[in-house]
Structure 1
Amino acid sequence: MEPLGTATILLVMCVSFLLFFSTWRKRSGKGKLPPGPFAFPLIGNMLQLSRKNLPKHIEELSGTYGPIFTIYLGSEPVVVLYGYEILKETLIDLGEEFSGRGSMPLFAKMATEPGIVFSNGEPWKQLRRFALFNLRNFGMGKKSIENRIQEESHFLAERFRNTHGQPFDPTLFITHAVSNIICSIIFGDRFDYKDEKFVTLMNIIQENVNLQRSPWTAEQKNGKSDFSMGSLLRSTVELFIAGTGSTSTTLVFGLLILLKYPEIEEKVHKEIDRVIGRNRNPCMADRSQMPYTDAVIHEIQRYLSLVPLGLPHAVTRDINIKQYFIPKGTTIFPALNSALYDSKEFPNPEQFNPGHFLDENGAFRKSDYFVPFSAGKRICVGEALARMELFLLLTMILQNFTLKPVLDRKDIDIIPITTFVSSGPKSYQLCVLPR
């Protein structure tokens, strides 16, 4: 063997040993990072972790290492929080310390300046306050937004009617409707569903969703100005994409659930007929009188667990928790699905059951474990809007239509497709019949 080749091999071996030793030191001893699976130099646990269903693998690791453990994505340590108790202790009780945003390189490469979702520190606080203030001014949580959603629901109902009972994939129709609600808030107007610019925008959003379901690599770059045109533009784009993708995916999944369980659809139909009837628009005031429908929507969100591991957080300072030490800047995975699928709070969580959110008298039952929008200081800015959209659009659809499956109901697969980042339904078609 050539001397140069031998020297290269020895150098690689030495570097690998040093990296391994450094990793071992961080992972052992009192006051160190939480325990976790053995990590290789350079690649960490990347070869061991399941990319097809990382959340399921994280659940298995929690059975071995407990509610707080460390995995390595490459050479970067990531602390995983698993279970409602540890999520509450960190995201809520230590909200400020766990309010950082973890590295999200894919999105950093999509813009030169971060927006509200991916910024940190004082820039994030100012952008968040600015967004919440203006969204409220635009009517979020108020009657004016409710009217916009009701208006769009009419266009969606008309589009459903024009299928004339033939099979169709509801994804595009619902995505257009939800996106138009955001458009009416941000741009002051909606788009015709066939508008070329609107269709192009929808295609870009769908491409973005596909990218989100791939692993993220490299590091995030912070913007220099809190209110530069770039950061404000990026914040608008983030709100637009997040507000379209999450709600539409949840609604599409909800229709699939109802195709599988016609008895649940029938109960919702009866509650709609009793409270709303067939001749007026559903409104948010109806929700308090419709506990079963409200429970169905909550169970759809729980069962889907749209972002099972949550968006990555980061600790804003060195912190000791339990007997472990987490250095400032460490990325945190708050496993939201661990609360949503907690068997003590939701018996038989693998089964879809609206009764998870109903008490013995049939009244709606709130749960602190219901965290699809995350928790603490990084909770979703658009939570109020999403809740309104889910209730008003789903009740409008079921007020006007009966869902008919294309397949035998026993062949309908409602298990979500779960990837590195998010969950969603498998592609399907359905028919809608006017009531």
Structure 2
Amino acid sequence: MEAIGTLVLAAIVLVLFSALFRRDSGRFARMPPGPSPLPLIGNLLQLRGKAPYENFVKLSETYGPVMTVHLGPKRVVVLVGYEAVQEALVQNADAFAGRPELPLFEKTSKGMGLGSSNGERLKQLRRFTLSTLRDFGMGKHSLEEWIQEEAKHLVMEFQKNEGVPFDPTFYLSRSVSNNICSIIFGERFEYQDEKFLHLLTLIDTNAHLLSNPSTQLYNVFPKLLDLLPGPHKRVFKNVKDFENFFSTIIDNHKDTLKIDSPRDFIDAFLIKMKQESTNPDTEFFYGNLLYTVLLLFVAGTETTSTTLRYGLMILLKYPHIQEKIHQEIDAVVGRDRLPAMEHRKKMPFTDAVIHECQRFLDVVPLNIFHCTTEMINFRGYTIPKVQPHPKKYCIAFKLGFTKKIFRHKVTCCVYIFQTSYLILLSVSCQGTVVIPLLHSVLFDKTKWETPHSFNPGHFLDENHCFKMNPAFMPFSAGKRSCVGENLARMELFLFFSTLLQNFTFSSTDEPASIDISPVAGSFIKLPRQYKLLVKSRA
């Protein structure tokens, strides 16, 4: 009898959700085509596996470069290929500049900070962040000197491991992280600092956890997963550790703040908070400071250090590329001075290899999700701006009869009561989410000669001079592009060229056996683990 009751209950759930889909069908009638969804789970069965971006590309072969896919009951517009992504993010930048309320990130940032903001908050925080980063050196010679100095520390750490295979992960992340630390709170950490190593371990751990499909399911069924153990719980705990660390740093800055002499990003934000203390609508308050600093630290550490780690792996796989870079560095820079940004234009092959590493690694294949800020007619389809529902649908029922139908502010929930257990299914009902698929841009076969092969020639012309490809979008594009792009570009060139100026890299494995394909992930792609052998160049 219990099995029959469960089946009846499941049938009721499917009927109710089918009704919800039908009720909204008119409002979404002119949306892009896509695969038919199942009640509750949408198209999740078609997106199984660790590489949903590949599933999206496959679906686009049937439904076109602009399509509608259901993540659970949530309608999502997916943009596939350079032309569609560029048209949306650049030519229609304002309309696609929103950030949806994804439960995973709402839980960790509470809607505050640069990463999760929209509207006036986004406008003010982004403008302030970009101008303050420039004030403290981003894109300037002063920051270049800081990176060069940090590169020397990295060389010394590598020298300590000469002749012994070692994992370069945390050596690279410590060096890269120290650069963003110098900007946001005005100091660097010693490589052996235990608190620093703990933070970098948290970043590395969360990168792996967020790439787990089980973690990303939290965005579809947050209320259900709140009741269950899983990797999402560890993500939240790690973020709490970050919050505690940066709260302490911010409090210390408050105690030593000099209004007329800001030392770093935190000081500048605290001063802005004081200036706007009488403004009831100010966006410069503690929560926005905390989560903006956290975002800058994590994003400024992970993606650049991961790209450098991948770049060194490429050199193990292709010794002839390493040799050619050595020759270029010797000819342009020599051995007696540090590589500088002024040398980049004279080192087209090295520059091309760095860009190809970024393209081929494809570190954030799904991009960070966007949403529409207004209704827009895009390529013959109508993509609505779905205002956040002032009230959202909750349906609670007990086996055999509907207990109560009411409206709720936060999420669309289905409560299923039985005598022995409670299941809570929850999905967001707000907004038109847009996924501008960066993977499809970086591997667009109409824009890259050999998209699925590592090929520095993608960035070289017939005269072997560097050329930029418009489909190079690892930092995304438009009004949500990475605020730290200039810093990352500078770090990648200076660290990469300085290491190659000083070392020859090899592996204990044969080059032919090294697998350079990144580890697929639902959020981020990472290089496979490897051990590095370094030898100082005479």
Q: Under TM normalisation by the shorter chain, which class is it?
A: over 0.9
Amino acid at match of 2:335: R
The Cα of 1:79 is off from its aligned counterpart by 0.7
- Identify the match of residue 303 of structure 2 among 230, 233, 246: 246
Aligned 1:39-118 pairs, distance under 5 A: 39-118=37-116
- Identify the match of residue 170 of structure 2 among 161, 169, 172: 172
Aligned 1:23-38 pairs, distance under 5 A: 23=21, 31-38=29-36
The Cα of 1:85 is off from its aligned counterpart by 0.9
Counterparts of 1:28 and 1:420, CA distance in 2: 32
Per the alignment, residue 487 of structure 2 pairs with: 385
Counterparts of 1:154 and 1:105, CA distance in 2: 42
Gaps of 5+ in 2: 223-280, 386-430
Counterparts of 2:25 and 2:475, CA distance in 1: 32
- Check conservation: 1:307, 1:423, Cα contact below 8 A: yes
Aligned 1:178-327 pairs, distance under 5 A: 178-214=176-212, 215-218=216-219, 226-327=283-384
Per the alignment, residue 417 of structure 2 pairs with: none
Q: 1:419 to 1:433 in 2, by over 3 A?
A: same
Query: Which one has a bigger Cα radius of gyration?
Result: 2
Counterparts of 1:25 and 1:276, CA distance in 2: 67
Per the alignment, residue 375 of structure 1 pairs with: 477
Counterparts of 1:30 and 1:209, CA distance in 2: 35
TM-score by length of 2: 0.77
2:41 alignment partner, SS class: coil
Which stretch of structure 1 is more off in the superposition, 110-119 or 333-342?
110-119
- Check conservation: 2:341, 2:494, Cα contact below 8 A: yes
Q: Map Cα deviations across residues 25-69 of structure 1 (whole Å, 9 max, x no partner).
A: 767999522111221111111222123111111111111111011
Q: Map Cα deviations across residues 333-363 of structure 1 (whole Å, 9 max, x no partner).
A: 1011111112222112111010010000001
Amino acid at match of 2:123: K
- Check conservation: 2:109, 2:116, Cα contact below 8 A: no
Which stretch of structure 1 is more off in the superposition, 106-115 or 189-198?
106-115
Counterparts of 2:219 and 2:462, CA distance in 1: 51
- Identify the match of residue 119 of structure 2 among 121, 132, 152: 121
Counterparts of 2:84 and 2:4, CA distance in 1: 50
- Identify the match of residue 464 of structure 2 among 324, 348, 362: 362
Counterparts of 1:121 and 1:51, CA distance in 2: 35
- Check conservation: 1:275, 1:289, Cα contact below 8 A: yes
- Check conservation: 1:405, 1:429, Cα contact below 8 A: yes
- Check conservation: 1:310, 1:333, Cα contact below 8 A: yes
Amino acid at match of 1:131: T
Aligned CA-pair RMSD: 2.1
Per the alignment, residue 407 of structure 1 pairs with: 509
Counterparts of 2:328 and 2:104, CA distance in 1: 44
Aligned 1:134-145 pairs, distance under 5 A: 134-145=132-143
Per the alignment, residue 416 of structure 1 pairs with: 518
Which stretch of structure 1 is more off in the superposition, 48-57 or 163-172?
48-57
- Check conservation: 2:105, 2:111, Cα contact below 8 A: no
2:78 alignment partner, SS class: strand
1:100 alignment partner, SS class: coil
TM-score by length of 1: 0.94
Quote the sequence identity (%). 49
Q: 1:89 to 1:25 in 2, by over 3 A?
A: farther
Counterparts of 1:145 and 1:61, CA distance in 2: 44
2:186 alignment partner, SS class: coil
Q: Map Cα deviations across residues 299-346 of structure 1 (whole Å, 9 max, x no partner).
A: 000111111111100000122222322221311110111111122221
Per the alignment, residue 269 of structure 2 pairs with: none
Counterparts of 2:50 and 2:508, CA distance in 1: 28
The Cα of 1:260 is off from its aligned counterpart by 0.3
Counterparts of 1:64 and 1:113, CA distance in 2: 36
Per the alignment, residue 449 of structure 2 pairs with: 347
- Check conservation: 1:103, 1:312, Cα contact below 8 A: no
Counterparts of 1:103 and 1:239, CA distance in 2: 20
Counterparts of 2:25 and 2:63, CA distance in 1: 13
The Cα of 1:107 is off from its aligned counterpart by 2.3
